[in-house]
Structure 1
Amino acid sequence: MRRVLIPVSLLVLAGCAAAPTDPEVTFYADGRTINVRPSQYCDLQSENCDVTPDAVGVLRVRPGKPVQISVPGDLADTAWSVKFTYRNAQGEPQEPLRSKLFTEREPRYAYTLVLPNPDDQLESVEVQQYGARIESSTTGAFDFVARGTWVLSVDDRPTH
């Protein structure tokens, strides 16, 4: 019988290659697409987090234009929502808004963010995946704690 020796370094590399990667979210606007890694991704209890502050996508989005968001299956099969900030046509910041909560009961793989008014300017978008941990707020309400966050910063400079 012949023995085959495999260097330990190859076994270590093989083990690393099998490790799961953090899910990416795809944003699409004005004919451009960007895949974004999570800026924060935690375990199911929203603890033991990997934080990558520079994992922010940037897309140009003209006033009133929608942003299409696609999420992978391991995000679609959980509780998640979209939070966004925007300004009105006069440039005044508006209260941040949030989409409805999507859950594993009706998995949602895509969402189109449409601003309230046709002249509004989007500023930022956050896809938030919720974990199992719940915290009470100062108002007595209960909030799910975000497990993962994917951030899109909007480039709203005029094009020339």
Structure 2
Amino acid sequence: MTRWVRWVLVVVVVLASAGAGVAAWALTRGSAETMPEISVYSHGHSVRVGPYVYCNVVNLNECQKSQTQGELAVDARYPIQLSVPASIGRAPWRLLQVYEDESNSTSTTFRPNTRLAVTIPTTDPHRGKLTGIVVQLLTLVQDPKGELHDAPHAEWSVRAVWS
């Protein structure tokens, strides 16, 4: 090869590399990974809530703690409609319903790809008024004895505000 041909090839490779870098930057800018949000609705009021805490699924000690809690106006006549995005629904997730007497709170676990929405009554004849809901995204962890347990690695919280 002549010196001129090698020089042209070097210039083409450098320009192609720079073009690929600029294209990758252009495609990914503005698409910062956002945290999933849940949505709750009751009688004309709607709220979208980001995670209260969101941990790395591989390292549960590496967490982002916004401690954001949503608030939804409720009354006894209208239930809460909860919607979770597919990013939550395609994994095992748990719904905690917290009542005035916290010892009467309930927990429901949903298997992957089974539920994206739940209707939640705001009162229960045995538990009283609902004071809040918590959505937890679950992962399996192994305890020191080698036993597997589910543990939340992300959590969304909504407080029921009674009118």
Category of TM-score, reference length = shorter chain = 0.7 to 0.9
The AA in structure 2 aligned to 1:80 is W
| Equivalent residue in structure 2 for 1:84, among 69, 94, 97 | 97
- 2:124 aligned with 1:124, yes or no? no
Q: Residue 82 and residue 96 in structure 1: after superposition, are their counterparts in 2 closer, same or farther (change >3 A)?
A: farther
Q: Tell me the equivalent position of 1:33.
A: 46
- Higher relative contact order (CA closer than 8 Å, sequence separation 6+): 1
What is the distance in 2 between the residues matched to 1:64 and 1:86? 16
**Cα shift at 1:36:** 0.2
Cα distance between partner residues in 2 of 1:61 and 1:145: 29
Equivalent runs, 1:56-75 vs 2, <5 Å:
56-63=69-76, 65-75=78-88
1:20 aligned to which of 14, 33, 36? 33
Aligned equivalents of 1:135 and 1:96: distance in 2? 27
Contact 2:95–2:136 at 8 Å: present in 1 too?
yes
Cα distance in 1, alignment partners of residues 46 and 130 from structure 2: 16
In the alignment, structure 2 segments of 5+ residues that lack a partner are: 1-10
Change (3 A) 1:72 1:117: same
How far 1:68 sits from its partner (Å)? 1.0
1:84 to partner: Cα distance: 1.8
Decide which of 129, 152, 157 is 1:146's aligned counterpart. 152
Q: Cα distance 1:102–1:119, how it changes in 2: closer, same or farther (>3 A)?
A: closer
What secondary structure does 1:23 align onto? coil
Work out whether residues 141 and 148 of structure 2, in 8 Å CA contact, stay in contact via their aligned partners in 1.
no
Contact residue 83 and residue 117 of structure 2 kept, 8 A: yes
Partner of residue 111, structure 1: 118
Deviation at 1:65, TM superposition (A): 3.4
Between Structure 1 and Structure 2, the one with more helix by share is 2
Could you tell me whether the CA contact under 8 Å between 1:60 and 1:155 is conserved in 2? Answer: yes
The structure with the largest alpha-carbon Rg is: 2
Q: Percent identity?
A: 21
Task: Describe the shift of the 1:61–1:43 C-alpha distance in structure 2 as closer, same or farther (beyond 3 A).
Answer: same
CA RMSD of aligned residues (A): 3.3
Structure 2 counterpart SS, 1:101: strand
Q: Which one-letter code corresponds to 2:49 in the other structure?
A: V
**For the structure 1 residues 37 and 64, does the alpha-carbon distance in structure 2 shift closer, same or farther, using more than 3 Å as the test?**
same
Alignment match, 1:155: 161
Instruction: Show structure 1 runs of 5+ residues with no match.
Output: 88-92
Residue 50 of structure 1 pairs with residue 64 of structure 2 = yes
